[in-house]
Amino acid sequence: MRRFGDVRGPPDAMGRIYAPRRYASAGRAGVRAGDGPWLGSGLMDVLIHLFVGLHIIGIAALLGGFLTQMKAMGQGTARFVPAMLHGALTMLVTGVALVGLNEAQSHHVDTVKIGVKLAVLIVILGLVYVKRDDEKVDKSLFGLVGLLTMVNIFIAVLWT
Ligand code: HEM
């Protein structure tokens, strides 16, 4: 009988037991590997995590840029700083890449959730792009971009 931790293959018709199965789906570092060769999917998982990291850098730029302008927003003199535009673009590029990478790995992607996040980001990107050269942006419009960014963060983490 095979027990947990037994990595030997099953005996063949002659009762011979073959040496360790190198591609057994034993799972590494808490991630359950597929049944195929694990090297390919392992690299893909690293790539997905790298893009999640870049996605988070994008949020940092977009939200961080907004936060630096909070005082100015109160005075009606806030402007969309370049970090906000670059952050929003980073979110779009890394988000689309994450969808593709997850699909390629046959991971479940919630298309409704992603669709809502994409729609919200397009509004953010449109506003920031059109007003990128304005010296001052109206308080309510500026606040709306910050609000929509936070809405997307909470959609990402609360919508399961
Ligand atoms: C302001 C806009 C956005 C914000 C604040 C945001 C935020 C986040 C956060 C915090 C995560 C990590 C938590 C999680 O896994 O759910 C995440 C993951 C993800 N985001 Fe976004 N996102 C934005 C836009 C987008 C867009 C436009 C797309 C696609 C077109 C996208 C696709 C994804 C995908 C596929 C993941 C899952 C990564 C994984 O678990 O493998 N995001 N996003």
| Mean pLDDT confidence for 18-27 | 42
Q: What pLDDT digit, counting tens, does each position of 84-136 carry?
A: 999 999 999 999 999 999 999 999 999 999 999 999 999 999 999 999 999 99
The CA-atom distances, in angstroms, between 105 and each of 47, 64, 102, 125 are: 11, 32, 5, 29
Mutual angle of helices 139-158 and 111-130, in 10-degree steps: 160
Q: What is the pLDDT of residue 23?
A: 40
> What residues does each domain of the chain span?
38-158
pLDDT at position 51, please? Answer: 98
Note the pLDDT of residue 9: 52
More confident residue, 22 or 82: 82
Instruction: Please list every protein residue whose CB sits less than 6 Å from any atom of ligand 1.
Output: 48, 52, 55, 59, 91-92, 95-96, 98-99, 102, 109, 114, 117-118, 121, 124, 149, 152-153, 156-157
Q: Is the pLDDT of residue 157 over 60?
A: yes
